[in-house]
Structure 1
Amino acid sequence: MRTRREFLQKITYSAMVLPLLPSWQFGSPHIDSEPYEGPVLRVAIMGLGGYGTRVAEAMKACKKAKLAGVVSGTPAKVKEWQSKHQIPEKNCYNYENFDDLKDNPDIDAVYVITPNALHHDQVIRAAKAGKHVICEKPMGLNAKEGEEMVQACKDANVKLLVGYRMHFEPKTLEVVRMRQNGDFGKILFFQGQCGFRIGDPNQWRLDKTLAGGGSLMDIGIYAVNGARYMVGEEPIWVTAQEMKTDPVKFKEGVDETILFQLGFPSGAVSSCLSTYNMNHLDRFFLNGEKGFAEMQPSTGYGPIEGRTHKGKLTQQHITHQTLQMEEMASIILEGKEPVIAVDGEEGLRDLKIIDAIYKSCHTGESVKLV
C-alpha cells in the first residue's frame, strides 16, 4: 500500500462487502430529488492527482457546486481534464499564471489539493486573486503558516475552508448529535487509531520538504481533529512519543509512528496513534459515563461503520466528497453554519496541536496549549 488515499480507498472496498443500497455501487446519490435553481459554486481544482480526480468525480452529483476550471503543472493532465470535464481553455491555468484568476469571473473558488508544503503560498495567491479557497488538510506545515493563511483570506475578504470531509459525514454527525444531547453523559475518554503501512519510499509523503513531517501530517491529523469534535472540547495539554524502526525509509524529520495524548478542560483524555508502519488502523472510540460510540472504519471513504450503546448507526452513506462540496457551497454562497467548523480557524487549531505534538516528541515533556 503506497499512500493514505489508497489506504482509505481499500478500507472503503472492505466495508462495501456489507449490504448496501444499489446506488452506492455507482457513486453518490443526489442529496435530494428536488430541482435546484439557486446559485452554484464554480470551482477550479488545483492539483490533478488521485484525490483531485476523486473530488471532480464526486462533484458530478452536486447541485450547488461544479467543476469550472483546473490548475496544474502538467499540460497533458490539463488537456485530459479539459476533454473529460468540458472545461474551456480560458479556465485552465498552471502554477505560474494562476494569479490571472483575478480576471476570470467564471471561477468563484479554488480547491488546493497539492503537497502540504505548497498550501501556504498557493492559498495566499488564490486569496489575493479574489477567490474563495478550499484547502486540503493539513492546512499548512505549522501554526505560523496557518495564521498567515487565515489572515491573508481575511484581508482579501474571501472564505478559507479546509477539506474536513468527515465533518459532514452522517454517522459522524449522529455521534456528535448524541454527545451534544447528553446521550453519553460526561465524556471521559477518546481513542483514535489511524495508520497504514506506507510503500514507495520515494513518494512526496516521505519527503520532509514537501510533507512537513510523516504519518502525523498525513493520516494522524484525522485523530487530532477527531479527538476535538468527538470530545467536544479544545485540548489544554499534549504529551507525545515517537518511535522509528526504519530510519532509512523514515529519514530525519519524517515520523513513522507517534503516540500522543490530549487532556481536556473537563478532565477527559484521549490516547491516539498515528503510524506509517501498521495496517488495519482506522478506529475511533468515545467513552462517557452513560454510554459509548465506536466507529470502524471511522475516516475511510466509506461507508463508515459504527455503533453506540443504543445500537448500530444506520445513517445513509453519501460519497463524502459530494456531500462536502455541496455543504461547502452552502457555506460560501449562503453563509450556512456547519455543525462542525471547517474554516481556516479550525485548520489552525489542528496545526497548533500538531506543533505541540512534535515539540513533546522532541523534548519528552508535556506541552501546554493556550
Structure 2
Amino acid sequence: MKSRRSFLQKLTLSAASIPFVAPSLARDFSEISTTEAYQGPILRVAIMGLGSYGTRVAEAMKDCKKAKLVGVISGTPSKVTEWQSKYNIPAKNCYNYENFDAIKDNPDIDAVYIITPNSQHKDQTIRVARAGKHVICEKPMGLNAKEGREMVAECKKANVHLLVGYRMRFEGNTLEVVRMRREGELGKIMFFQGLSGFRIGDPTQWRLNKELAGGGAMMDIGIYSVNGARYMVGEEPIWVTAQETKTDPVKFKPGVDETIQFQFGFPSGAVASCLSTYNMNGLDKFYLNGEKGFAEMQPSTGYGPIQGRTHKGPLDKPHITHQTVQMDEMSDIILAGKKPVLPVDGEEGLKDLIIIDAIYKAVKTGKKVALNLT
C-alpha cells in the first residue's frame, strides 16, 4: 500500500488530562479541506508489538493528522533501537514487556495499541488500563468471551477507552453499503455471504499455536466474516450452526481449525453463510442480498483498495490507507467524544468473542447454538 508520508502537527495535548473536547468546541472534521492544517488535539500512541502489522500501522500513522506514534513496547531490544531511529522516538518512551507499567508516570503517552499474539491481549490490556492509558487492541480482542468480559470491566473501572482494531468499520465503500442498507435502498435484508481465507505459510508461526492464537483460521481471518455479517446485515445473530473440515492434521493440530463453515440466523429472518479457512487462497468476498437490491465486495476486507458493486453500479469511494483512517477516527473517539457510524468499542469485540465461542461449540456438538447479544 502507498503511504503519502506527510504529517501535520500543530498542537499536542495529553489525553490523560483532557480526555474529551467539549461538544461546543467539536468540529466536523470531515469538512476540513486537504490543504487546511489540523489545529486540534493529537492522540499520542505507543505501539506494543513491533511485528509486521505493527510496522504497517506505524507507516500508516505518518499520514495521520490527529494521531502520532510517540512510543514503543517490545521484547526485542534491537527492534526498539531500530524504531527509535526510524520514527524519532525518544528513549524515555521506550519500554519492554516487563516494565511497561511505568507508562503510568509518562504524561507523553495517551494510548497503547496492542498488536501482540492473541493470548497476550487480556493481560496487556488490563495492565495498560491500570496504568491509566487508553487501550486499542487488535482483533480478536481476547481468546474467548470470558477474557473479553474481564477486559471490558477493567477498562471501565479504570475509566479508559477500550477500542478494537476494526479498520473495516471506517472504510469508505463499506460505509457506503451500510448507508444504503440503513436508508432502505436494498430493501429487507435476506442473505449475507462472507468468504474469508488464505493458504497459510510457515507451520511454526504463532498463528498455528493454540496456546498463543486460541484457535486457527477463525481467530485470525474468520473473524472478518463474523464481524462483517453483523454490520452488513445490521442485526445481531440469534443462532449459529457450524461444521469443521480438516485435511492436514499435521499442520493444523488439535484445537487449531483449518476450515470452518458457519451459518447465522437473525431476528428478521435473514440468514448468513460464511467460510473461514487457512487452506484456500483468494477468499475475500462479501455479498449482501435484499428484496430491492444487492451489494457485492471483492476484495472486501483486504488492505485495499476495496472494490465492489451494487445494483446501482460500482462502489467508488476513494481508497485511503485503512490504518491511517482508523487511527485518526480513534483519536476523535477518545479525544473528541465522537460517535462513529459503526462502533469499535470493547463491547463490540466481546460480541464477536461470544459468537466465536458459539461457533466452536456448534462444531463440537453438531447442534444449533442459540445466541443472545442484546
Q: Which TM-score band applies after superposition, normalised by the shorter structure? A: over 0.9
8 Å contact 1:68–1:107 — kept in the other structure?
Answer: yes
String of CA shifts for 1:262-318, please: whole Å, max 9, x gaps: 000000000000000000000000000000000000000000001000000110100
Aligned equivalents of 2:54 and 2:302: distance in 1?
A: 16
Aligned amino acid, residue 120 of structure 2: L
SS in structure 2 of the partner of residue 107 of structure 1:
coil
Q: Which residue of 2 aligns with 1:323?
A: 325
Q: 2:190 aligns with which of 188, 204, 220?
A: 188
**Residue correspondence of structure 1 range 207-226 to structure 2 within 5 A:** 207-226=209-228
8 Å contact 1:286–1:292 — kept in the other structure?
Answer: yes
Aligned amino acid, residue 260 of structure 1: F
Aligned equivalents of 2:5 and 2:234: distance in 1?
A: 29
Q: 1:147 aligns with which of 142, 146, 149?
A: 149
8 Å contact 1:28–1:318 — kept in the other structure?
Answer: no
Q: Percent identity?
A: 76
Q: What is the TM-score with the length of structure 1 in the denominator?
A: 0.93
Q: Which residue of 2 aligns with 1:7?
A: none
Please list every run of 5 or more consecutive structure 2 residues that lacks an aligned counterpart in the other structure.
Answer: 8-29
Moved over 6 A (4+): 28-31
Aligned amino acid, residue 140 of structure 1: G
User: Residues 164 and 26 of structure 1: is their aligned pair in 2 closer, same or farther, counting only changes over 3 Å?
Assistant: closer
RMSD (Å), alpha carbons: 1.1
Aligned amino acid, residue 76 of structure 1: S
**How far did 1:37 drift?**
1.4
Aligned equivalents of 1:361 and 1:215: distance in 2?
A: 14
Q: What is the TM-score with the length of structure 2 in the denominator?
A: 0.92
Aligned amino acid, residue 304 of structure 1: I
Q: Which residue of 2 aligns with 1:125?
A: 127
String of CA shifts for 1:204-233, please: whole Å, max 9, x gaps: 000000000000000000000000000000
SS in structure 2 of the partner of residue 192 of structure 1:
strand
Q: Which residue of 1 aligns with 2:18?
A: none
Q: Which residue of 1 aligns with 2:204?
A: 202
How many residues end up aligned between the 2 structures? 347
Q: Which residue of 1 aligns with 2:346?
A: 344
Q: 1:360 aligns with which of 354, 359, 362?
A: 362
Aligned equivalents of 1:189 and 1:180: distance in 2?
A: 15
User: Residues 340 and 28 of structure 1: is their aligned pair in 2 closer, same or farther, counting only changes over 3 Å?
Assistant: farther
Aligned equivalents of 2:231 and 2:175: distance in 1?
A: 10
Q: 2:267 aligns with which of 247, 265, 268?
A: 265
Aligned equivalents of 1:29 and 1:107: distance in 2?
A: 21
Aligned amino acid, residue 140 of structure 2: P
**How far did 1:26 drift?**
4.4
**Residue correspondence of structure 1 range 1-370 to structure 2 within 5 A:** 25-27=2-4, 32-370=34-372
Please list every run of 5 or more consecutive structure 1 residues that lacks an aligned counterpart in the other structure.
Answer: 1-11, 13-24
Aligned equivalents of 2:270 and 2:50: distance in 1?
A: 41
Aligned equivalents of 1:277 and 1:77: distance in 2?
A: 31
8 Å contact 1:237–1:263 — kept in the other structure?
Answer: yes
8 Å contact 1:28–1:319 — kept in the other structure?
Answer: no
8 Å contact 2:287–2:297 — kept in the other structure?
Answer: yes
**How far did 1:33 drift?**
2.6
User: Residues 168 and 29 of structure 1: is their aligned pair in 2 closer, same or farther, counting only changes over 3 Å?
Assistant: farther
Aligned equivalents of 1:366 and 1:29: distance in 2?
A: 51
8 Å contact 1:259–1:271 — kept in the other structure?
Answer: yes
Aligned amino acid, residue 214 of structure 1: G
Aligned equivalents of 1:90 and 1:29: distance in 2?
A: 25
